[in-house]
Structure 1
């Protein structure tokens, strides 16, 4: 008997394993009729999962923890039987801001500490001249992107939300926000940094891997009680995604992989933007050649294991962003969101 599941996703390269599970037939092979629904913002996606309009969702790991803890006005316990990727983010600023950073940098702007100090110098100059503060955006308040920004800024002695304005901009809107001058830069997942560079409005300053390797990012989130209430559904979708992971990690499949993601009901972006990202060959802008970044985004099986230790970094990020004051009880609840016991062994 075929089981129907409705799964929400956001248009990012890291939705890939959910898309491939459907489009390459892995879900069907597991007895699933997988309905994928593209969403416009992380808050929409979270709220629809909360009221069970979705069975499961491609979700920011920190958003799943925030909902479990009741931080941010929503309290619904979430569970993660597997992650969907590690890494894949980058920080992009407008071409004008990049040129300013390059002029102010005391050394190679590719060094995260040097670029952060250059940014601090720019912030100080603007303040002395009576200019408004710079604005940096992340895709959601509770996201690895927010916490990566905080880590980068701290190297220059800057605090997000104090020295630099902070704004939330959903991933598909980041290029327009940069183009219009609404923001001076953003941290987002692929391919939106590459899209901004390709549009001629952005320059990629750093990848997330420059700041932190194997950074927790997206997960497959369910409401927590579903793991016990619907074990067959959870197991079938997990198996389909693990099959998709194996397929995605074969370089020979990248052209077809990019074509799946480029579809109008997926990312709706040209293959010419997507395929280099999947080869980890990133356009940088700012007059620099493309950059090859080893394992820029990870879809391998080891990256998909839900690690309770990832909750520790997420909570530290929440605290650095002023979102929580950690307690031992919070740590216990957050670590329990990640459920390695539900991650299969060597056999599907």
Structure 2
């Protein structure tokens, strides 16, 4: 590995305690940041709202972020508005919807989701991690596809992911959508059961991204490219060998990134064979995972309109997504580290209910 001579540029990078923050930790442990002239200062955050606020204030230079959150901030839905940028995707898949044991058992026994949740007799409380984040989108999409209105039939709460298993165990919730290891932790505690993995809702869905303020990406393009290249190398390393993921699990536990034993984290990073290949957590896939597909951004804006958070006029979506997705810096970073680039800028996806998104 070639290290760039001269002083290292420090960058403050925020993350949440989820296994898909692994690329950032790997970048520091393996020295990929230093190889690109950077020194990443990783800062664990207590909530996605804290990630947002510190990004916008400049306390963080970039962050491990929910893909949907970036578009929510850029459009100003439900909070402060600011121009945002996506440098790359960090992973596909790796989340799950969990229900309390009784509801999960009824669903598995053949009840409809409305019957399992006892709708409309009550409005069950279901949690997500940020109102415009990916977990909210997977939960809402899954509910609506089965005849449950996420805006009226349930009460949607926002909780930091580490708090969700205990809230479910106390009976404060009937279910939630969150990233690993917090679905696995609910099962370990006997508080709930996974009923569907996010990669079964949308195989190969975008999940976490490397995000920053648009001004940072525009005013310091060389730094943004170097950061993208370093994290790209980390994502490739994670997918190169199962032992690499096992090592990453130990680092996540040893460094205090996630307050759970390494064995629990390893099981999330290396899911069992029963998980379909299309639903497995992926970090690289020869760059297919990391490319910031324009069609993915359009999907989130489409969902925001579906739930009434944006007006019906979608004529500006292409321009907005093109501003958010920093394709030029991604391509330059990919060329620097030898990651293949796709021919186009969009992809076709098919969700679990047959909806085809192009």
TM-score (norm 2): 0.86
Q: 1:263 to 1:323 in 2, by over 3 A?
A: farther
Matches within 5 A, 1:127-166: 127-128=120-121, 132-166=122-156
* Residue in structure 2 matched with residue 251 of structure 1 by the alignment: 242
* Residue in structure 1 matched with residue 349 of structure 2 by the alignment: none
Answer yes or no: is the 8 Å Cα contact 1:68–1:334 preserved in 2.
Answer: no
* Residue in structure 2 matched with residue 297 of structure 1 by the alignment: 281
Comparing both chains, which one has the higher relative contact order based on Cα–Cα distances under 8 Å and sequence gaps of 6 or more?
Answer: 1
Answer yes or no: is the 8 Å Cα contact 2:69–2:134 preserved in 1.
Answer: no
* Residue in structure 1 matched with residue 323 of structure 2 by the alignment: 336
* Residue in structure 2 matched with residue 347 of structure 1 by the alignment: 336
- Mapped to 1, the partners of 2:195 and 2:95 lie a distance apart of 11
Q: Which runs of 5+ in 2 are unaligned?
A: 1-6, 338-358
Answer yes or no: is the 8 Å Cα contact 2:73–2:81 preserved in 1.
Answer: yes
Matches within 5 A, 1:151-300: 151-249=141-239, 250-281=241-272, 291-295=274-278, 296-300=280-284
Q: CA deviation at 1:322?
A: 3.0
Q: Deviations over 1:26-59 (max 9, x none)?
A: 1122221211100010011111000100011111
* Residue in structure 2 matched with residue 306 of structure 1 by the alignment: 292
Q: CA deviation at 1:97?
A: 1.6
* Residue in structure 2 matched with residue 119 of structure 1 by the alignment: 113
- Mapped to 2, the partners of 1:242 and 1:264 lie a distance apart of 21
* Residue in structure 2 matched with residue 325 of structure 1 by the alignment: 311
* Residue in structure 1 matched with residue 54 of structure 2 by the alignment: 48
- Mapped to 2, the partners of 1:147 and 1:325 lie a distance apart of 18
Number of residue pairs aligned between Structure 1 and Structure 2: 324
Aligned CA RMSD, in angstroms, stands at: 1.7
Answer yes or no: is the 8 Å Cα contact 2:84–2:214 preserved in 1.
Answer: yes
Q: CA deviation at 1:200?
A: 1.3
Q: CA deviation at 1:168?
A: 0.9
- Mapped to 1, the partners of 2:105 and 2:329 lie a distance apart of 48
| 1:298 counterpart SS class | coil
| 1:82 counterpart SS class | strand
- Mapped to 1, the partners of 2:265 and 2:186 lie a distance apart of 13
Q: 1:180 to 1:80 in 2, by over 3 A?
A: same
- Mapped to 1, the partners of 2:116 and 2:328 lie a distance apart of 48
Answer yes or no: is the 8 Å Cα contact 1:17–1:245 preserved in 2.
Answer: yes
> Which deviates further from its counterpart, 215-224 or 25-34?
25-34
Q: Deviations over 1:151-180 (max 9, x none)?
A: 211222111121111111111111111111
Q: Deviations over 1:33-86 (max 9, x none)?
A: 211100010011111000100011111111111111122221110111211111
- Whether 1:19 and 2:25 are equivalent positions in the alignment is yes
| 1:225 counterpart SS class | helix
Q: 1:59 to 1:243 in 2, by over 3 A?
A: same
* Residue in structure 1 matched with residue 45 of structure 2 by the alignment: 39
Answer yes or no: is the 8 Å Cα contact 1:69–1:333 preserved in 2.
Answer: no
Q: 1:126 to 1:78 in 2, by over 3 A?
A: closer
